[in-house]
Structure 1
Amino acid sequence: MSIAPAVVPSGAEAAEWVPEGPYDLTRTIGTLQCGAHDPSFISQGPDHWLAFRTVEGPVTLALRQRGSLNQSRVQARAWGPGASAALATLPRLLGADDDWSGFDTAEFRATLPELARKGRYLNPGLRLPASGRMLDTVARVILEQKVTGIEAKRAWRYLLARYGDAAPGAGEVAPAGLRLPPTPEQWRRVPSWDWHRAGVDSKRSATILKAALVASGLERLASRPGGDAVRAGLRSVPGIGVWTIAEVVQRTHGCPDSISVGDYHLAAYVGAALTGRRTDDAGMIELLKPWKGQRQRVVRSLYSSGFRKPTFGPRLSPEDHRSR
C-alpha cells in the first residue's frame, strides 16, 4: 500500500492512497458517520467530507475513490492547520492496517457460516478503519448508550451545531454545514439545560464530562495497539463499560475482534443469522467462539450479507428526556 502526493487544489494539501486488492471507501468509513446528517461527516455524491482536530489543529478532509473496486485509489484533499497531520495518518484512517488476508483464505472461509461467506463475497472491499480520534468517538458512543439511534443522532447534531466550530473552509471549499466536534473545553461548557434540550440524560452527560476531563490521556491511547491497555484506559472513565469500549475501539483502532456485548439488537441478530433463533449475550459469545480474533469481521460480514432478523414485539421506544 502506498501514499503519494497528488495534485493540490488552491489552498489545500493533497495526497493519494493506493490500496492493495479490492477496496470500498464508502463501506469502510461509513461506520465513522453518526447518521446521514452528521455535521462532522457529510457525504455529497462521490465526495466524503470529514472535520476533526489533530495535534496541529483542525482540518477539513475530503475523500474520493477513483477507479474500479479491484484497482482503485483514494484521493484526499485537506484544508486547515491540521492538514499535514491528517494526511500523514490517512492510510490508517482508510483501513490500511486492517489485514483480511487470513480471513480470506480458503481454509478459513470453509469454517465460516454461509451468511458470512456470502457477505464477504458481496463486499470484498470492506476494511475496518482506525480513526485514532478518541474523545470524538467516546462522546459519540456515550450518546448512543441505552437509547435509540434516532435519539443519539439527534443529540450529536444538536450539540455539534451549538458547541462545535465551523470546519476550515466550510461554506467555501467545503459544505456550509460542516462542523468540528467540540474540544474538551467546549464539552465542559455545555450547560445542564442544553444537555436537556439535546435529550441527553444526566448519566450520559456526566460520563462525557468525565471523559473530557481526561481527554489528553484518552488521546494518548490512539497510538497504542487496541488491546488490554486501551481497554483499561477507557474503563478507567466512570460510566464507560464493555459495550462502549467495544464500539469505540472498532472505530478508533479498527479492532477485528471487539464485540458489542450488551447491545440491544446484536445478540439476537447473531443468533438468528447463525441458528435461526435469537440468543442472549452469552449465547452470542459461544456462537462466535470458533472465530475468536476475527469476530468483528464475522459480524460485519453477516451484516453485509443482507440478512435481517425477523421482528417480533415492540421496538425500543425513544424516551424524551426533555419533558422531565
Structure 2
Amino acid sequence: MCLAAVRSRDARFDGWFFTGVRTTGIYCRPSCPATPPKAANITFYPSAAAAQTAGFRACKRCRPDASPGSPEWNLRADLVARAMRLIGDGVVDRDGVQGLARRLGYSARQIEREVRAELGATPVALARAQRAQTARVLIETTTLPLSDVAHAAGFGSIRSFNDTVQAVFATAPRQLRSRAAAADAGAGGLTGAWHHVSLRLPFRTPFAVEGLFGHLVATAVPGVEEWHDGAYRRAVRLPHGFAVVALRPESDHVAARLWLQDLRDLTVAVSRCRFLVDLDADPWAIDAHLRADPVLRPLVEAQPGRRVPRTVDGAELAIRMVLGQQISTRAARTHAARLATSYGSPIQDPGGGLTHAFPEPAALADIPDEHLAMPASRRRTVRILAAALADGSLDLSPGADWGAARAALDALPGIGPWTVDGVAMRALGDPDAFIASDLGVRAALKRFGMPVAGAALQQATAAWRPWRAYAVQHLWASGSHDINRLPNQEASS
C-alpha cells in the first residue's frame, strides 16, 4: 500500500508515513512531485523524526516536515497516542521526558520503549523534529534575529540550533532566511508587545468549511472570540503568556496569523489551532465509512470532509458546556461573556475587537451567586467543576486519559450525558463521542425515522463507529441552525 501511494503521489497518505530514499539521503511525503524512486531504494518510516534519526534530510520540494499530522493520534486513546498529543503540546520541551512521564503516570523508560517501538524514534527525537519545524517557520516568516529564533524554538544553544537545522533541512539557517526573503515569504515581527507570525496550516481535502467555522462563530463568546474580516479569531492562554489567533479557511490550507506574547509558545499555539479545527482528520476514511450507511450517505455526499469543532482549552469548553445546559446558544454566550469580562484576563487585541481571555478554573471555583444568573443547582455544578479542574482531579489536557476523564465528569453532581459526551467530543477529541441527548441530534434522528434513545439507538448507530462524532456533525447539518453557515461578512466585520 505504501509503495502504491508513493507511485501515485497520493496526498491522502501525507503524514501517515514518510519515504526515505537511500540513494539521495532525503525523506519525502508520499505526494512528493519528484519522480518516484525505485522500490529497492526506499525505506518507509512511521514519523519524520524516525527518518531524521536514520540520517535522512527533509526534501526541499515537498517539505515533509510541514505535512498534516497523522490522524491516528486523535483517533486513539492509548499511551502512545496520549504521549504524542502531549509532545505536540510542547510538554517535552518544557518539562523533559520525566515531565511527560509524570503527566502520563508511567515511568520514563516505559514511555520511551513504547514510543520508540511504534514511531521509530524517542520522545526527545520527536520533540527535536518539532523544534526544527518551529525554527523553520520562524526563520521564514519573521525578521527575528536567529539567536532569538533558536531560543523561541526551544533550542538550548545556538550550536544545537544550527546543527539541527543543517541536519534536518540540509541548509544553514541563514540560507533558509535568504531563500525565504527572495521568495517574499511573508511578514512577521513585533506588533506592539506582540510577536506576529503568519503561516499556512495544511489539511487533507475535502474540507467542509461552513459547518466547522459556522459552529465556532455561532457559539463564540463576545470579547473572547469573533468573526472578523473573513477569519475566526480568539484569545488563547498558553504556557508562557497569551496569544491571539486568526484562522482564515482557504482552498488547500488554513491561513493562520498568530500574535504571541512569548515566541516559545508558537509550537503549542499551532498544535492547539490544528486541534481546534480538526486539521489532522482523514476525511477519506471517515466519509467512506459513514457513506456506507443509507441514512448518512446523502448527507456525506452533500458535504464531504466535515470536521469536529473542538477547542483550544478543555477546561474552558467544559465550563461553557455547563453554562449552556438547557438554555439557548445565545443565552449561553451571554453567560460566558459576563464571566470573561468579570474574571478573565484583559488583553490588548492587535488586530480586532477581542478584550479578554476566558477565566482560569481557579478563578471560578468560588464565584458569587450574583455572577451566575442561573438555577442554584447549576451554580453549584459550575463551582464544583471549576474546583475539580483547578486541583487536577479532572484532567482535560491533550494527554488526558479519555476513560478516566469521562468517569470523573460523570461523578460530578449536575453533569449528565449531554455534557460528558460534548466534552469528550470537543475537548478530548474522541472521534466516537455521540451526543445522543442533544436536541438537534434527536430532531435529526426523528426526521430520518431512526430511534432516539436506548438500546435501539445504540444498535442503529453501531455501524457508524468509530466515527460517531462526525456523524453528529452531519446530523446537525441537516437542520437550520446558525452553526451550519458562516455569518454575513458585512454584518460581522
Change (3 A) 1:254 1:33: farther
- Of 369, 375, 380 in structure 2, the residue corresponding to residue 192 of structure 1 is 369
1:304 aligns with 2:477: yes
Question: Do the aligned residues in 2 keep the contact of 1:138 with 1:248 (CA within 8 Å)?
Answer: yes
Task: Kindly provide the amino acid, as one letter, of the partner of residue 367 in structure 2.
Answer: V
Q: Which stretch of the first structure deviates more once superposed, 237-246 or 91-100?
A: 91-100
What does 1:1-324 correspond to in 2, within 5 Å? 1-2=67-68, 5=137, 6=141, 7=186, 8=188, 10-11=190-191, 12-25=196-209, 27-33=211-217, 35=219, 38-66=222-250, 68=251, 71-81=252-262, 83-84=265-266, 85-105=268-288, 108-109=289-290, 111-114=292-295, 116-131=296-311, 133-167=313-347, 169-170=348-349, 173-195=350-372, 199-216=373-390, 217=392, 220-224=395-399, 227-273=402-448, 275=449, 279-280=452-453, 282-305=455-478
What one-letter code is carried by the residue in structure 2 that aligns with 1:79?
L
Segments of structure 1 that go 5 or more residues without pairing to the other structure are 309-324
SS at match of 1:58: strand
- Give identity over the alignment, percent: 21
3-state SS of paired residue (2:283)? coil
- Specify which structure has the higher proportion of helix: 2
Q: Classify 1:151/1:284 alpha carbon distance in 2 versus 1 (closer, same or farther; 3 Å).
A: farther
Distance 1:38 1:281 in 2: 37
| Structure 2 residue runs without a partner (length 5+) | 1-66, 69-132, 142-185, 482-493
Change (3 A) 1:243 1:237: same
**3-state DSSP of counterpart to 2:286:** coil
By relative contact order (CA 8 Å, sep 6+), the higher-ranking structure is 1
Q: Is the 8 A contact 1:57 1:80 kept in 2?
A: yes
In 2, distance between residues paired with 1:282 and 1:175?
A: 48
**Which residue of structure 2 aligns with residue 320 of structure 1?**
none
Q: Aligned partner of 1:91: which letter?
A: R
Aligned length: 294
SS in structure 1 opposite 2:190? coil
CA displacement at 1:19 relative to structure 2: 1.1
For the residues of structure 1 that align with 2:454 and 2:331, how far apart are their CA atoms? 24
Tell me if the contact between 2:367 and 2:383 (Cα under 8 Å) persists in the aligned partners: no
After TM superposition, give the deviation of residue 153 of structure 1 in Å.
Answer: 2.2
Question: What amino acid does structure 2 have at the position aligned with 1:35?
Answer: T
Distance in 2, Cα, partners of 1:218 & 1:97: 29
Q: Is contact 1:129-1:252 (8 Å) kept?
A: no
Please state how far the C-alpha of 1:42 moved relative to its aligned partner: 0.4
Give the Cα–Cα distance (whole angstroms) in 2 for the partners of residues 149 and 129 of structure 1: 15
**Residues 119 and 306 of structure 1 are in contact (CA less than 8 Å); yes or no, is this contact kept in structure 2?**
no
**Do the aligned partners of residues 299 and 161 (structure 1) sit closer, same or farther apart at CA in structure 2, a change above 3 Å counting?**
same
Q: Which deviations, in whole Å up to 9, do the C-alpha atoms of 1:222-278 show, x marking residues without a partner?
A: 2236632221232343332221111112111332221223334432421222x1x77
TM-score, normalized by length of structure 1?
0.78
Larger Rg: 2
Moved more, 139-148 or 116-125: 116-125
Instruction: Output the CA distance in 2 between the equivalents of 1:225 and 1:42.
Output: 28
Measured at CA, do residues 306 and 100 of structure 1 come closer, stay the same or move farther in structure 2, by a change above 3 Å? same
Q: Secondary structure at the match of 2:412?
A: coil
**Paired residue type of 1:296:** A
Aligned residues of 2:306 and 2:470 also touching (Cα < 8 A): no
CA contact under 8 A between 1:267 and 1:281: conserved in structure 2? no
Distance (whole Å) between structure 2 residues aligned to residue 30 and residue 218 of structure 1: 33
Aligned to 2:21: none
